[in-house]
Structure 1
């Protein structure tokens, strides 16, 4: 890295004089007939600098003799002109009958944007890599209207959920389909994107609605991300090298209190009745560890003992005051380095592309790390009527993570404990588990070392495609795709034996309780250790055969695709475990006491489909498009079931028209282009688990017992007539270009209705089952999306673009099963993510305050002043209603600055972290421990009338208020979920072409500084965590807890070199 930076410094110094070699070049842009093209864009190839023609097609630009000008204009093919020694240039552009490049749609079908009657967004490699995130999904946040990326955490292997246009199914899969080079990934496999090298991505087509993805069958009902990787190009071989190095730092921690130390027992009637810290009088020879709770004396800076007297008679003594920055210091500074090299080239008949990548990451959780190494190879060859190609990628990803809740351990440590100095638990006697000060939670670093999971993915994906031209208007096409994923995983808990002294000191009486027997039970029980081994294999084979036809008849054009799809997926999982090991450090299931545990799971799933896609155009002005697919699936197949229950059709139709070409008079000095579109589709979603129609008989608890096998009946009874959910979608929209194509506006309104929802409901135990799975329920989902792109300034040396992407999504449960008003998706008994009849879903229900309906005041007990705990209450929707992304990009000569922001809002989140921190007394909100009146409260004056409470203090605000009342009311930790983030920022410099030419080695070079999530702004009531995070990738979003690693910000530097 040091050598690279030194080389770049030399390049910068040498490059500066080259800037002065440019000179003014004038020119004119015309069409094939010599008519001037106004306001065409002129830029220097390989740079961001450029200019634009005036209304007469003339332009002026500063360029060097070695520069190549790229001239573009809407509706025309781009043209490249070498500057050389010319001072005057003329560009004659050819009409291309298109407003943009071809877009890859469902099943790899390529269409011009003007032909599409539905909304599709295209994301380029530049959009993905601007923030240099090694995870592709996170790079998409805020860049596409209607797209929401939900993160679980910031670990070295972050799980994500990708949602397009909100939820359709109450209980089934709502994740967008991910398709990589024509191969559909399994449902819910968004995390598979973590195995992709972002630099290998050519583009991603975001198919937002049901009609856009109808040809993918039920897998595409939630929209799709169609990923196309890079292919080779004709010409001399090009070699590129890229290095990105970035650091990660914790950016958001909850509000901690630093006023009170350890303690939890209230000494009623003892002395002044004040709270006492959990240590014994120094004259005593029995010392006990601190409490994990922090309801002790106020910090005063005095020297106080920590924990008990050790076996050698020594004890740990510290200043009784909070240590500034210690809560943040316990987290690591993460480091990620990414190195990659690619090769591409070819001739008129053959092209190839190859890339190699190595990504190393050290996480913010100490000792967590990962490594991703991958290679990708693709090639294509054309011979006569036949085109053939293949794509093969291999990725090996390895992860090493802790399996315990490090975050939760840290909030159970008092603020005056120097945790960061207690890492060496093997050699520091005060950090040793035998004498650690905390009797309820052990040293977090001991757990980090001893509770580990190591797992790896060996992932192979590939495809072979053949395209044979039978006639000039007909092709036969076949693509065979495969995926093989092998995962191995080993979870270990190290064996540990406490010292004899630690075990004999397991009971320590509490003098503040007068030795009444309520002492602390020290966790001095030996850790038996455990080993868990798992190996899983997943194989997918997908074949697509198509007959492609493209024929014009006068003013009419016809493009059709007839296809057959066969998809087969098999998985096998074998696991074995031992619950007690013999020899410490030998992590092998054979090193055990007792019987082995284990299991095996096998699944097989098959789907076939016949489909058709027909596009009819009239004079290249009006397009009518229809799709149809008939699927059969093993999920719903069972002997003696009607064919209609496992074979089902999908269809859709859409229309688009170019108004400005159809009615030329609409083109004015303001409006340059207008397109209207509308579409309707009927899809289904086979939202049941594999073998969801079968009765299951799992092992009963405690079995097998020796040679005796015991089975129990499954918990769910499936309805014999169970069928897929039905989703009807409609959308309408328009695309507009204004002010000489400087302003681009896209608007879409959509609505989706889902019926025959697959829901599990309670049934009487007398049936032999607890639950019944059946088709019932209806929901509606609707919203709109707006995309605006503006070229604010574009001249010779400076250009400035601005873009806005806004989406609003609503949904509502129309009906549920009779007698069922709601059901829990995920969460806890006191707060959870629910489906509620007649409400948006999911919604957060939480234990709430009892309030006076007239005033909204919290009702408190007239005597104690404590608040009253009410029932579960709907506190708001869990999914963001509003998502706004906006960005700007400015270029001055060879410098470019790109910035992107994102806002999400209109939802609430529940943070269980707040509840846990209230119990421990570490939360900043618990610091108000002086006698006080509960805020905004009222009480019954004895007549049934509620009057404002101005004088009844809570009976005890030092402990009981927080632990016994405030903590139990989950409304306290349910807060607005809005946030604003600086998603990414990138400042780059491209070395001048004149200088690069002199190096004789490089064809291009650039350097950039970047950052990601540098700024996060949340609601003032949110003292807990980043509302973007949820503890699941299932449907029950809006809940987070200590299992989420705190949010991070990233800073980095990237170097790109292209060799001749």
Structure 2
């Protein structure tokens, strides 16, 4: 591997060695004001028939004399005339013609540049400044709200995962993430989170590997949405493609760019718990004797001698991690958890029973990050190079948490001959994490779950901090099983001990690169050969320190991924007559990928305390869990576009893949697309108000291969029986007759630009069916298996996408641009396998599951619901129909746990992007909107039941606290009717064992509308006047200030961010252990030399 990397790097270095050789011919590039290459621009010597045409990089070369003048012209741009003089390198910047289409050229599949004016499928571009101006550490997060049809789901974990889904979920159990491609190199975007972590249980979120991409190096991002646009990429592009185009050298001579930025943040308090401050620790119900801790005047306390003076003391029930205890009263003297802390001033003392001054929100700290980079580039008539280094350091919202990214890149291109160009690049990244946040449910490392679900409001965070640092950093916790009698953690460690002692570390080293040869065989035939690689290896280490609630131990996970792609592509661009143009391609691709991993953990604890190594295991470690997954796909593809008078365009493409994961002899599959566009504005040239108008139509079928090792059953080796090794078959039987999944897609669209390009819109309707889904279905236990992989199922996605571009004001000094995106997707499971009507995708705490149910959207939530009047025969009171049935106790009647209680899919998503430019100032802001969709809050499910939230002390209609006894006017009046249809008038008890949360209410009560409206980002930039830098080393500078996630304008989920997700993947729609959202503020300085 290292030899191959060294060979590739040396090849790239070789490309740049002759860059500055002199040439008598004049060379140059033609670009627009945004820095994008203008393809097929005409470069002509005035008064002569001699000329040249710019290539796909906007480059040209032409022999001239010093007295010649060159006329440069291109469609939609003002013609320029320049005098050659003694120049040998020309950098031409074209100004858009009045009424022109400013972004005519887009990068499409396989890196091929095409005119957007006749493109027969939907694409959308995002400029590179969107990623650098607001400094998101994961560039994918910055796409939220920017692209119609693209749904971005992110979370608040440090370096956490981002879900990137285009046009809905298409695969029942497979990958639904878009494919990421950098400069023609497909890259892996998987994450290595455990399956249980993805379902909301304990673990760490290690993020997606696409986060390795350097935002500073992005020139633009092109989103290919439908199957017709992505078919040439093969089976893994069925979910759309995110094309990342990196910055290239674009100036003569040597140029240096330096960048420095700092970011910090403050908590958005609407996304964290608002605790009640009237009651403290315990599970107490005055009417349930089993919840009484003592037979005293204060039965919510234990009553025994703690300090050894022979007298009984009131003692807080610290072992019960809830706040349904005694009402706070400063005159009550109580022994609390810190009475067992020798370093505390309250050691062995009773203290007033009051709410904590420093609640859990004070545990979090303000995040901070800095970024610095330097880039050196250069170019002349023969070629160019660019090399750079970037360092990002992010510190999180909890102590001992940070991620450091070191990013190196080098790229070069060089013309060996007039018609032969070589180029290559290599990008290296080193990502080091320490102290990522524990999340999910079921482990002390998930501090947010502790704070949100199981907490005592009398516990002060500052006391916990002192207890950790003043006791030699030992686990002096608040959660003793019983104070003075059993001083061991019951459920939770001291959060400072968790952060400083039970931390994880991880490191990923990655190489992404390519080398290519481009041969212009004739004026109309180009041949390109390319080899690319994406390789990374990572290590994840998790620690449980001696003295923790859980036994001490150490786990180590090594993961490696490598992929090589070999491409040979011939393209034809030829006029077949005065009115007819042919653009065609023919190519082949060989893809070889390998994924391997090894996992091992200590057994029985650590011999030497806090020495974290597998060799320090008390007992011999179990055999490591190892995986090795080689995959090979060979593909051939072809495409052709016929363009008649730039009026009608017909596009055909096809690809045939042979996959190693399908049955031998039946592993070849073909798919293709047919598209057409009609540029009706060509017939309406006299209509001055219309700049461009196009209808487009396409149909495509794209395959998706089977997962690795789905054909033949493979034995696994579980823990042996004593010295006897054991082997077993998996619970799911593989199937040697599998065939690829297939997505059939239809799309129709209308695009118009009007009024000198001040008004434009793009409307798309699409309808996709994903059939022959590869999924596990239940089979008879008599077979020895529980499930079997089969081809079955059909998911439909259909919807509308609308993108509107407006320029309300445009003059010499001021410009206002607006971009509006709106998407409505409707998802439906048409069928599964045989008579099966439901496929459970995952299950959450509390008995809730996410499912694919026939006739329902993909991602329905199932759990317990209210019983509604009218559901049973004989319930005929008209005014009561549909209302909750309330029992004689005043509590609601509940169903079982298999009712449909929600749908994770939004009704629609949208974004409003505004940019204002006045002279050297630029102001931009983005509003991101999600309407509809449901989220099940596990935090509310438990937190309501443990008495943490303010509604557990609210006043009822009687003016009494809901916690007061019912016979004294307390309790809650649940809305609904009795079983005979009469309005409910019975108040229910609110206590530690009934009334509000998991102990009395159905799951449905904690399913919330996940809508939000967010001010996602704001940026203000100032370009320093060029006259300040005349004849100086500095050529230009820009200073910008920015903010991210500044304001949640609207949300319905209480005490949390509705966007926050545990991980990426198919299992969405739940919220557990959410960390608060932080408003981020920063500045950035860019200086060019």
TM-score > 0.5 by shorter chain: yes
Aligned-residue offset at 1:795 = 1.9
Equivalent residue in structure 1 for 2:413, among 374, 380, 388: 380
Using the alignment, how far apart are the partners of 2:187 and 2:34 within structure 1?
A: 40
Question: Mean Cα displacement is larger for which, 857-866 or 614-623?
Answer: 857-866
Taking the TM superposition and a 5 Å limit, the aligned residue runs for 1:673-684 are 673-684=692-703
Contact in 2 for aligned 1:539/1:570 (Cα 8 Å):
yes
Q: Deviation per CA, 1:345-374: give whole Å up to 9, x if none.
A: 210111011111000111012211110001
Using the alignment, how far apart are the partners of 2:609 and 2:576 within structure 1?
A: 80
Residue 1038 of structure 2 aligns with which residue?
1006
Aligned-residue offset at 1:532 = 1.7
Residue 845 of structure 1 aligns with which residue?
862
Using the alignment, how far apart are the partners of 2:123 and 2:136 within structure 1?
A: 24
Taking the TM superposition and a 5 Å limit, the aligned residue runs for 1:903-1052 are 903-927=929-953, 928-930=962-964, 931-940=970-979, 945-950=980-985, 952-954=986-988, 956-962=989-995, 969-997=1002-1030, 1000-1020=1032-1052, 1022-1042=1053-1073, 1044-1052=1074-1082
Using the alignment, how far apart are the partners of 1:124 and 1:761 within structure 2?
A: 45
Aligned-residue offset at 1:787 = 0.8
Equivalent residue in structure 2 for 1:664, among 654, 676, 685: 685
Using the alignment, how far apart are the partners of 1:890 and 1:610 within structure 2?
A: 47
The reply on whether 1:692 has 2:718 as its aligned counterpart is no
Contact in 2 for aligned 1:751/1:780 (Cα 8 Å):
yes
Q: Deviation per CA, 1:407-441: give whole Å up to 9, x if none.
A: 12224332232213422444435995356454332
Aligned-residue offset at 1:289 = 5.1
CA 1:318 to 1:785, structure 2 compared with 1: closer, same or farther past 3 Å? Answer: farther
Q: Deviation per CA, 1:1021-1050: give whole Å up to 9, x if none.
A: x214212122232212111211x4332221
Using the alignment, how far apart are the partners of 1:762 and 1:709 within structure 2?
A: 29
Using the alignment, how far apart are the partners of 2:583 and 2:476 within structure 1?
A: 76
Aligned-residue offset at 1:922 = 1.1
Residue 433 of structure 2 aligns with which residue?
399
Q: Deviation per CA, 1:252-271: give whole Å up to 9, x if none.
A: 21343222111213355787
Question: Mean Cα displacement is larger for which, 793-802 or 610-619?
Answer: 793-802
Equivalent residue in structure 2 for 1:241, among 258, 283, 288: 258
Contact in 2 for aligned 1:289/1:308 (Cα 8 Å):
no
Using the alignment, how far apart are the partners of 1:562 and 1:792 within structure 2?
A: 44
Using the alignment, how far apart are the partners of 1:91 and 1:698 within structure 2?
A: 64
The reply on whether 1:332 has 2:365 as its aligned counterpart is yes
Question: Mean Cα displacement is larger for which, 104-113 or 844-853?
Answer: 844-853
Equivalent residue in structure 2 for 1:892, among 895, 918, 924: 918
Q: Deviation per CA, 1:673-718: give whole Å up to 9, x if none.
A: 21111111011222x3210112121123x31632x21111211123
Equivalent residue in structure 1 for 2:397, among 349, 364, 367: 364
Q: Deviation per CA, 1:380-407: give whole Å up to 9, x if none.
A: 0012221000110111110012542111
Q: Deviation per CA, 1:719-739: give whole Å up to 9, x if none.
A: 342211221101111111112
Contact in 2 for aligned 1:234/1:348 (Cα 8 Å):
no
CA 1:274 to 1:655, structure 2 compared with 1: closer, same or farther past 3 Å? Answer: farther
Residue 139 of structure 1 aligns with which residue?
142
Aligned-residue offset at 1:869 = 4.2
Aligned-residue offset at 1:43 = 9.0
The reply on whether 1:585 has 2:601 as its aligned counterpart is no
- SS of 1:155's partner is coil
Using the alignment, how far apart are the partners of 2:150 and 2:943 within structure 1?
A: 33
- SS of 1:918's partner is helix
Residue 655 of structure 1 aligns with which residue?
676
Q: Deviation per CA, 1:948-1007: give whole Å up to 9, x if none.
A: 112x222x3222323776555111210001001111000111111112326x13111121
Equivalent residue in structure 2 for 1:408, among 427, 439, 449: 449
Contact in 2 for aligned 1:286/1:309 (Cα 8 Å):
no
CA 1:801 to 1:301, structure 2 compared with 1: closer, same or farther past 3 Å? Answer: farther
- SS of 2:117's partner is helix
Contact in 2 for aligned 1:215/1:628 (Cα 8 Å):
yes
Contact in 1 for aligned 2:696/2:749 (Cα 8 Å):
yes
Using the alignment, how far apart are the partners of 2:219 and 2:884 within structure 1?
A: 57
Using the alignment, how far apart are the partners of 1:618 and 1:1039 within structure 2?
A: 52
Residue 61 of structure 2 aligns with which residue?
none
Residue 173 of structure 1 aligns with which residue?
175
Contact in 1 for aligned 2:798/2:826 (Cα 8 Å):
yes
Taking the TM superposition and a 5 Å limit, the aligned residue runs for 1:86-125 are 100-125=103-128
Contact in 2 for aligned 1:759/1:773 (Cα 8 Å):
yes
Using the alignment, how far apart are the partners of 1:965 and 1:913 within structure 2?
A: 10
- SS of 2:943's partner is helix
Using the alignment, how far apart are the partners of 1:279 and 1:1056 within structure 2?
A: 66
Contact in 1 for aligned 2:974/2:987 (Cα 8 Å):
no
Using the alignment, how far apart are the partners of 1:490 and 1:370 within structure 2?
A: 15
Residue 581 of structure 2 aligns with which residue?
557
Residue 736 of structure 1 aligns with which residue?
752
Taking the TM superposition and a 5 Å limit, the aligned residue runs for 1:28-107 are 75-77=76-78, 100-107=103-110
- SS of 2:898's partner is strand
Q: Deviation per CA, 1:441-473: give whole Å up to 9, x if none.
A: 221111222212111000011100101122221
Aligned-residue offset at 1:72 = 12
CA RMSD across the alignment: 2.9
Q: Deviation per CA, 1:88-144: give whole Å up to 9, x if none.
A: xx9998899976342111111111102310000111101222321121011111011
CA 1:1003 to 1:807, structure 2 compared with 1: closer, same or farther past 3 Å? Answer: same
Residue 210 of structure 2 aligns with which residue?
193
Using the alignment, how far apart are the partners of 1:96 and 1:546 within structure 2?
A: 36
Using the alignment, how far apart are the partners of 1:996 and 1:778 within structure 2?
A: 63
Residue 775 of structure 1 aligns with which residue?
791
Using the alignment, how far apart are the partners of 1:308 and 1:390 within structure 2?
A: 63
Question: Mean Cα displacement is larger for which, 899-908 or 580-589?
Answer: 580-589
Using the alignment, how far apart are the partners of 1:1037 and 1:474 within structure 2?
A: 48
The reply on whether 1:351 has 2:387 as its aligned counterpart is no
Residue 248 of structure 2 aligns with which residue?
231
Equivalent residue in structure 1 for 2:133, among 130, 138, 142: 130
Contact in 1 for aligned 2:1040/2:1085 (Cα 8 Å):
yes
Contact in 1 for aligned 2:77/2:94 (Cα 8 Å):
no
**Unmatched tracts of structure 2, length 5 or more:** 1-31, 37-71, 84-92, 192-206, 439-444, 482-489, 871-879, 954-961, 965-969
Aligned-residue offset at 1:778 = 1.6
- SS of 1:571's partner is strand
What TM-score comes out, normalization by structure 2 length? 0.82
Aligned-residue offset at 1:868 = 3.3
Contact in 2 for aligned 1:306/1:315 (Cα 8 Å):
no
Using the alignment, how far apart are the partners of 2:74 and 2:913 within structure 1?
A: 23
